[in-house]
Structure 1
Amino acid sequence: MDERFEQVRMMLLEQKREILQKIRGKKGEIGDLRGDFIDIATDSLEHELNYIFEEREREKLQNIDEALKRIKEDTYGECDECGDDIEIERLMALPFTHLCLDCKAKQERQKKLRIYVEQES
């Protein structure tokens, strides 16, 4: 494992621990759907918001696990587009990124160009 990424790995493990703690806490908050109509509607809304929260947190967990796997396999920090190293500052800020800053900027420009071309059509 590349020693440069030890701090990122520790940060990812801490984020994973916090997310799992949040999910466990939310599951403990879910109650019965009992009461009058307003109580049921409120409980239903809370249940739906909890579901959305858990989906987002599961996606984060998946990203964390993928990044940890790439660290272990010694492929973390390589740009998927050009193969160059991704700056450590970028990885600290966005630990799930697969693109270096130049390739991300190029991707964003292409996306804007596609949107512009579609609007002109």
Structure 2
Amino acid sequence: MALHRDIFWVGRQLAVTGAGIQAVDQRLRGVLDIEIARLWDDDLVQGRRAKPGVNTVDFDKALTVARERFPQEPTADPIVAQLAALGVVAAPVESPVLPALQLRVEGRLARFLPQWRIRR
């Protein structure tokens, strides 16, 4: 995946962007990428750090910069955390109540109106 347009820090191997941590080398095809919502997931971070060929000094610096840029917000639901990281604003849910159907014909009773018919 191409680098996000908002780039905050660039190292030798990794960059901190608006999408989180991304690999500068696009031939890796997102193997080292970490989304913003998962920056604080220690198991994922340790798994990415343990991959062969990762520059650990560069990885640690990118993780530090990313965690400073995107602080952890206390949320109970991980789906809410992902939506907040993506910038989705939660709107109050309104029930789709349709207005009552009102049949009016400008003050005349419907039985006295001319009927509409198709003539052949």
Shorter-chain TM-score range = under 0.3
- The higher relative CO (CA closer than 8 Å, separation ≥ 6) is in 1
Give 1 or 2: higher strand fraction. Answer: 2
TM-score, normalised by the number of residues in structure 2: 0.21
Tell me which protein shows more helix as a share of its residues: 1
Please give the TM-score of this superposition, normalised by the length of structure 1. 0.21
